[in-house]
Every structure is written in C-alpha cells, then in structure tokens.
Structure 1
C-alpha cells in the first residue's frame, strides 16, 4: 500500500501544479514584466505538452519497463517545476512549463495503470479512485494553499513547494516501487489503430465532452456566480471549496461503487446525468448554489474512475495507449472548454448562461455514451472493454479476462 500512496502523492503534486498556475497569473505577470494574457500562455503550453506527451510517449515506449518510465517521467516533471521557480524571463518560463507538462502527461497515464496492476483485480476500482482522488485533492486543497503562499512569499515559493513534493514522491518511488508488469511492445499499426478503435473512441469522446463541460466551466465560476447570484469575487472561495469537496467525495466513492457493482456503463450514465442537472441548476440557484456545486464537482471527478476502468480492460496491446488518449482528452477538453467559454463571454453572452451551454455539452456526452452502449449491445462484442455489458453475462466475463491481461 506504501507504493500506492507514493503514486497518490505524485498525482496530488500533478493536480496542484496543473491548476495553481492559473491563480498565480497576475503575480507572475508583474514579476516578469509582462501581461496577464501572455503569462497565461504558460497554462496553454503545459496543457498542450501534457496532451501530446501522454499518448505519444506511452505508446512509443510501451516496451520499456513501466517502473523506469514512471520514475523518469516524475523526474522530468520535477525538473520542469524547478526550472519554473528559477525562470528569469517569460521565454524560460514557457519552456519550463512545457518540460513539466511532458513529465506530467506520461506520469499520469502510467501511474494509474501501475496502481491498478499493484492490487488484486477486485480492488482495481479502489486503486484507480485513490490516484484520481490524489489529483483532485491537489486541485481542491493544494491550489488555495498555493495561492495563499504566493500572496505571502511570492509565486516562486509556491513552485518550490510543488518541486519539493515531486522530489519526495520521486525518491520514495525510486526506493520502494517494485517492478510493474510490462505490456508487450506496441506495434505502430496497433498504436494508430487505437485512434480509430470503435471501442476506444466513444469512451475517450465522452471524457472529452465531460471535461469541456466541467473543467471548462470551472475556469469561469466566479463571473457565473457574480452574474447569477450577485456573489462578489472576494466571496467565491466557499463556492470553490464546495466544488472541490464534491470532487474529492466523487473520486473516492466511485471506486468502491465500481468494485461492488461492476456496472460501469450504468455508473457512467448516472454520473453524466447528475453533471447535466447540477450545471443546469446553477443559474437558477444563484447564491444558494452550494448543493449543485457539490454534485457538479462529485460528478466531474467521479466520471474518470469507471472510464479508466473500461479502458484498462481493453486488449493488452492497446490498454495503456487508450488510457493515455483518455488523459489527453481530459486536458484538451479543459482547454477547449475554457477557450470557448472565454470567446462566448467576449462575444457578449451573459455569464449566467454559460452553465446551460456546459450542461448541453454534458448532455451530448451522455447521448454519445448511451449510443455507444447500444451499438456494443447490438453487436454482441465480447472481451473488448469492460463497459460493453453489465457483469454476469458472457461479455462481462470476457471483459474481466481481458482486464487481467491489460496490465
């Protein structure tokens, strides 16, 4: 279990690093003598590097021992954060964020697969939930504390804390992480086939749409609450905590539900429905939106546990590549959602309507999920992914056998 907790610490650091920079933009811009919009490109660079590196490196180096890649990727991530803390100019800052993003993308994909392989199959959902909970905790608990530290000691102090946490996880994994079962080398044709795999694409597409709806809207929560409920920017913190607490609960509780029921198709549909209803209710509740925020956070973070469980149950030659694609979809969805929301506001759309647009995107994800489940049921496919049918049938048994071979 010590190994799992070290993987969780790395995920916590990743979650902190991925989101804390957005809160540090004004401070960073003043320190480097640039504008907030230019400083904001460090978030874009990190996101794109993360999205590209996850499927590319995880696929190209699938024959390399996972333990070595996990430690190396966490080392690259920590190095990038150290360079960020020392950056004397915007150019160096952007380059360092790209380095950190590459390490984060590879570590995120491999750490979830490693966590699943280090426990018995019956506890796989719990292990995935713990790693996802580490990332959500880094966002929920670490980001406010990181911003507070930056206000008192400067943004570089926050980045040194992130670097230190990454170094601790790195040293711990280097000492205690045993060999993780390696997947067979992935041929180029198989890697490319994952991009058009009819089992992979609908799952990854649902993750992308959910990220657009959830993480994209989160970026503009302050103006949404201000427009819908008259909540001043100085009073937004409790609402952010409500969203974050929901995220922790959702990511942690989703694992036991997956393990106990095995009904990943039903769970994904239920989580998406909750996300749609919670976001649609935000403009109507205004300042009393705490319950909707808790449900929104819970649904947004809980979704990825059954999604990852489904992807890990694919054929062995595509399991890690599919998981990396899913992680890329999350970050791309976050970037696309934030960008589209910003364009909508710039075009004059009232901020209180953004949640309805986000709910519509989440509803599209629900439709895609249900359509994919219906197609798989009609084809009667067996052993392609764990979400093809509920446990107990031939397909559920085939998926469980495939899951054993995936890691």
Structure 2
C-alpha cells in the first residue's frame, strides 16, 4: 500500500489545484488588471481540458505503457503549474491551466487503475479510497493552506506549492513504481467501444447526476446559506469545514465497506439515498437554527465524496483490462461536466430571481434522479452482464 499512498499524494495535489484557484480569482484579476469574469476562465479551461482530454488520452494510451503515461501526466501537471506561477499574461495563464487540466485528468484515471493493480482484490476498495481521499484532503486541508499562503506571499507561491507536491510524488513514483502489468492486447476499437457499453454508460450517468446535485450546489453554498430561509449565515467557514471534513471521512471509510460488501450496487443505492435525504433536510434544519445545518452538510460532503470509490470499483470490475482506465476517465469527466452543469443551472436560477433557499430542493431532486437511474438502468445492466471482463493482474507492492 505504500506505493498507493504515493499515488494518493499526487491526487492531493490535484484536489488542491482544482479548487484553490477559485479562491485566488480576485487577487489574480488584480495582478493582471483584468475582470474577475475574464480571470475566471482559468477555472473553465482547467475543467474543460480535464473533462475532455482525460477519456481521449486514456483511450489512445497503449495498455503496455500505463507507468509511462502515469509519470508523464503527473510531470505535465506539475510543470504546467510551474508555468502558471511564471505566467506574465492572462493568455499564458489560461494556456497553462488547460495543460494542467490535461495532466490532472489523465493522471487520476491512471492512478485509480494503477492503485487497483498494486493490491489484491480484497483491498481494492481501500486502495481506491486512498486516491479519492487524497483528492478530498487536497480540497479540505490544502485549499485553506493555499489561500493563506497566497494572502501572505502571493498567489504564485500557492501554485509553486502545487507544482512542488506534484514533483515530489513524481520523483517517488519514478524511483519506486515498478513496471505495471501490461493488459492483454486490446485494440483501439475495443477501447472506444467502452463508450457504448450500457453498463458503463449507466454508471457514468449516475456519477454525472450526483455531481450536478452535490458539486453544483456546493458552488453556491455561501449565497444559499446567506438567505433568510437558511438562517442568514454571515460566516460560511464552519459550513465549508463541515462539508470538507465530512468528505475526507467519507472518502476513507468507504474503502473497507467496498471490500466487504458483496453487492456494491446496494452500497451505491444507500449512498444516493443519503445524499438525497441530506439535501432535502438542509433547508428545514437551517430554518430551525443555522448550526443544525452542519449535520446534513457534513453528511452531504461525506456521501458525495464517498460515491466515487464504489463507482470506480464497479467500472474496473465491469471492464477489467479491456478499457478499465478509459471507463474511469469517462467517470472523472462526468464529475467535472456535472459540476459545470450544476453550477450553470444554479447561476441561471439566481439570474431569474429564484431564492437560494430553493437550490437544495432542486439538488435533492437531481439526486433522486440519480437514485432512480441506479435502481433501474444500473441494476438492469448489472443483471444482463454475463461475465465481467477479466480483472487486471495484480502487482504486489514489495514494500507492503
């Protein structure tokens, strides 16, 4: 598992980089004498590059070169962040953010596949949880630290920190990560067919809807909690910590559950049900007293982050060597696209005059749609699957 934790360190850098830039927008805009909306495109370029490039490169990457792809993607990510720290114009910054998104998207998909191949089947859930735990920890622990550094020594120092963490992970993996087992010969056509796999499509669809509900609402948690119906919260910090700490706990606790539960399908049903209920009770709890909202927000964060561990595990089981990394990459794209769609719909709701207090109910509705998809399409496709693709060969970590 030691090598898995090195992979998780790279995921920590990704989680930090993906979310800290939103908190740095005002100071970056001032530095480049640009509007916040124009500077905000650095988040858009990162997200779109992540979502689009991840499945494309995962599809084109040779099955025998997973280790090379893993190291190359992490190197691109780290160097692109260094380029962002050195950027002298907004145009250069946008370009380097796009490159960072490409590296991040491919790395996370390959890291999940590599983590699964480094342990036996009984510990695969825990290995995948380390990767998602790294992402969530980067958000919860890394983002506040990154913002604090930016306030004292400038935003460029925060991006240098991201680059340094990425390079530390790269150096450790370059020295200690052995050649990963090559999958059996799989043609590009067979890899592309992953996209048309009914089971993969339904699982990815659930991830997309869950991201619309969870990550989309999180974008507007401050204005939502500031409404009168939610208690007119002035300081959003305790609620952000509740969501984030819940996310870290959920990310790490879900791993052993995935390894123990014999039917992962039912585990996902439970997670989606908890997500829907947490979003439904958020407004009533906050109307009684704002501090009561901390509990549903913590549950929301926990199950929102936990969901992706059984989802990744199910995709790897479904596709095995024949497109496992491609399926995981599609799932990661669905998360980022779902986040973008959720944010866009939330912005539209505000623009037409809706109260922010309505958004948790809307998010709960989308969460319920994800639950319906899980109990219909995913359940049906799981039953129809005669035999899953052969699992990827396990490469034991000699230092375990």
In the superposition, the TM-score normalised over structure 1's length comes to: 0.92
3-state DSSP of counterpart to 2:119: coil
Alignment partners' CA distance in 1, 2:28 and 2:186: 42
Q: Does 1:307 align with 2:308?
A: no
User: What does residue 295 of structure 2 align with?
Assistant: 291
Q: Does 1:363 align with 2:373?
A: no
CA 1:280–1:181 in 2, change beyond 3 Å: closer, same or farther? same
User: What does residue 214 of structure 1 align with?
Assistant: 214
Q: How much is the aligned-residue C-alpha RMSD, in angstroms?
A: 1.5
1:383 to 377, 384, 387: 387
3-state DSSP of counterpart to 1:199: helix
User: What does residue 229 of structure 1 align with?
Assistant: 230
1:262 deviates by 2.7
Count how many residue pairs are aligned between Structure 1 and Structure 2: 389
User: What does residue 391 of structure 2 align with?
Assistant: 403
1:312 deviates by 0.3
Q: 1:16·1:138 contact (CA, 8 Å) conserved in 2?
A: yes
Q: Deviations over 1:240-277 (max 9, x none)?
A: 01001110111111110011113210100000000001
User: What does residue 27 of structure 1 align with?
Assistant: 27
1:326 deviates by 0.6
User: What does residue 155 of structure 1 align with?
Assistant: 155
Q: Deviations over 1:271-310 (max 9, x none)?
A: 0000001111112122120100110001100100110010
3-state DSSP of counterpart to 1:140: helix
Unmatched runs of 5 consecutive residues or more in structure 2: 396-400
Q: Does 1:323 align with 2:328?
A: yes
User: What does residue 8 of structure 2 align with?
Assistant: 8
1:182 deviates by 2.2
User: What does residue 90 of structure 1 align with?
Assistant: 90
Q: Deviations over 1:210-244 (max 9, x none)?
A: 011111111110011111434445x1111101001
Q: Which moved more, 1:330-339 or 1:59-68?
A: 59-68
Unmatched runs of 5 consecutive residues or more in structure 1: 385-398
User: What does residue 395 of structure 1 align with?
Assistant: none
Alignment partners' CA distance in 2, 1:28 and 1:165: 21
3-state DSSP of counterpart to 2:354: coil
3-state DSSP of counterpart to 2:318: coil
User: What does residue 350 of structure 1 align with?
Assistant: 355
